[in-house]
């Protein structure tokens, strides 16, 4: 069998509730700085959960980076994606093609997904315009903002990408799925380089349905920084977040040839579904599906479970946290005492839905690159069902060399993804 092409990560970009770029993000992760805030707008609207994670100052920063015409055509989620993509592309040592270039970059594409996407465009423009029978007043830019492929289309055009330009959507699995899809495309020889990731806005209409489902924590409105409590006994649901993470993934030889900085090699990546059978449902992951996803990734990576140093968990602060720990433990055949270090980036930034996996993949790679693990906040009252694993969860930031890291995401629809990175040395 022909050996598949090797794929590495050469660029990172992020917009998160506690940081507007990777430099700030490393600092925020090291300091364990929460980006969760109280929003009076949520209180006024009658939300039970009145806290959330919204990038601070990112939309202002975009005004200095993008033209008036571009800003006019971008909603919140697309703006975050563009900021993260620009940082990742620049970090990878790459530049957008000039507008008058004769042809696009044929070997480079983008898979930038979103879980829910442009509801701000819908609520602020489309719905009132149609309700008031003022269709003409919608103008020309609502379609490109509400179409599912809005984020990838905008990014593809900005940089001049000539390979596949696509937006995936698999709920909270979206960001990690995009990363794996880009990796697979390069492995198969269909592209040499892909911008991959996810993005999500913070419009209350996006968060309202989750509040109605009672899956958001309503018990810490007066203590926002304590509200996102993955792995704790007092976890009362997740905290909604927003932002974007984008990575440049690249075929190894292509990256080496141009002397690119390499963060890590992607050793394996699996996307699957539990099929809403064997304990799985629209909202709950089937343990069998999750474990199969992790095991298949290990097989692809050709490593033993003991080689995993660090896991960036999905860990949202719902009742699924203990289940996730047990799934990792069974799939890796590593019980308490032998378990890898694991933390939840959501403890600082909340759950950024379709962007979560991508932002957390960036967090994973920054920890791997800089040799540390960030604290998992607010789990002082560690979940009693998984007490044995507590020593494997950092409560404070510490230096920690990581050679191999695993990242997984799970989403509504019983969909899963798992990816394994190896530090490039």
Partner 1 sequence: MEQNEIYTNVVRIISKHAKNEEALKSLNTETHIINDLQVNSARLVDIVLDFEDTFNLEISDDDADKISTIGDAVKLVKELMH
Instruction: List residues near partner 1 by CB under 8 A.
Output: 67-69, 72, 99, 136-137, 139-141
DSSP type of residue 19: B
C-beta separation of 352 from 243 below 8 A = yes
C-beta separation of 80 from 150 below 8 A = no
Residue 233 CB, shortest distance to partner 1, in Å, is 53
Residue 70 CB, shortest distance to partner 1, in Å, is 10
C-beta separation of 378 from 229 below 8 A = yes
- In the complex with partner 1, which residue's Cβ is closer, 128 or 139? 139
- In the complex with partner 1, which residue's Cβ is closer, 141 or 403? 141
Residue 73 CB, shortest distance to partner 1, in Å, is 8
Q: Which segments within 222-305 are labelled E, that is strand?
A: 243-251, 264-273
Active site residues: 172, 314, 351
- In the complex with partner 1, which residue's Cβ is closer, 136 or 399? 136
C-beta separation of 109 from 188 below 8 A = no
- The distance of Cα 166 from the centroid of its chain, to the nearest Å, equals 16
DSSP type of residue 49: -
Q: How many CB atoms lie within 10 A of CB 388?
A: 14
Structure tokens given for 311 = 């896991």
- In the complex with partner 1, which residue's Cβ is closer, 3 or 140? 140
Structure tokens given for 198 = 């996810």
Among 71, 79, 86, which Cα is nearest to 13's? 86
How far apart, in whole angstroms, are the C-alpha atoms of residue 33 and residue 353? Answer: 20
Residue 143 CB, shortest distance to partner 1, in Å, is 9
- In the complex with partner 1, which residue's Cβ is closer, 1 or 135? 135
Residue 153 CB, shortest distance to partner 1, in Å, is 13
């Amino acid at each position: 069998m022909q050996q598949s092409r090797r794929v590495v990560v050469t660029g990172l970009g992020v917009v998160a509730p506690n940081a507007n770029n990777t430099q700030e993000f490393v600092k925020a992760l090291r300091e364990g700085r929460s980006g969760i805030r109280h929003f009076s707008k949520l209180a006024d609207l009658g939300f039970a959960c009145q806290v959330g994670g919204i990038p601070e100052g990112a939309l202002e920063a975009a005004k200095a980076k993008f033209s008036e015409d571009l800003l006019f055509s971008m909603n919140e989620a697309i703006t975050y994606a563009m900021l993260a993509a620009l940082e990742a592309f620049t970090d990878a040592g790459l530049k957008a093609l000039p507008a008058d270039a004769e042809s696009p970059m044929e070997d480079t594409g983008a898979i930038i997904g979103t879980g829910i996407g442009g509801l701000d465009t819908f609520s602020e423009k489309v719905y009132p315009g149609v309700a008031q029978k003022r269709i003409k007043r919608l103008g020309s830019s609502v379609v490109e903002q509400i179409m599912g492929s809005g984020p990838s289309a905008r990014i593809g055009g900005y940089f001049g990408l000539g390979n596949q330009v696509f937006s995936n959507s698999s709920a909270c699995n979206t960001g990690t799925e995009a990363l794996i899809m880009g990796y697979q495309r390069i492995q198969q020889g269909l592209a040499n380089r892909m911008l991959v990731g996810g993005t999500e806005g913070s419009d209350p209409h996006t968060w309202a349905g989750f509040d109605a489902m009672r899956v958001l924590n309503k018990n810490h409105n007066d203590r926002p920084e304590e509200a996102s409590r993955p792995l704790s006994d007092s976890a009362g649901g997740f905290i909604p977040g927003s932002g974007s993470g984008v990575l440049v993934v690249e075929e190894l030889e292509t990256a080496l040839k141009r002397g690119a900085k390499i963060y890590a090699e992607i050793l394996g990546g699996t996307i699957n579904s539990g099929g809403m059978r064997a304990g799985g449902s629209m909202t709950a992951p089937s343990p069998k599906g999750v474990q199969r996803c992790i095991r298949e990734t290990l097989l692809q990576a050709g490593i033993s479970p003991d080689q995993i140093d660090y896991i960036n968990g999905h860990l949202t602060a719902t009742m699924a946290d203990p289940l996730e720990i047990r799934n990792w433990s069974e799939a890796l055949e590593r019980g308490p005492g032998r378990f890898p270090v694991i933390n939840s980036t959501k403890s600082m930034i909340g759950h950024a839905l379709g962007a979560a996996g991508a932002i957390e993949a960036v967090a994973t790679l920054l920890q791997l690159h800089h040799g540390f693990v960030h604290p998992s906040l607010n789990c002082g009252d560690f979940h009693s069902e998984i007490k044995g694993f507590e020593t494997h969860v950092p409560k404070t930031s510490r230096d920690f060399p990581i050679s191999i890291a695993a990242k997984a995401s799970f989403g509504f629809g019983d969909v899963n993804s798992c990816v394994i990175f190896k530090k490039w040395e």
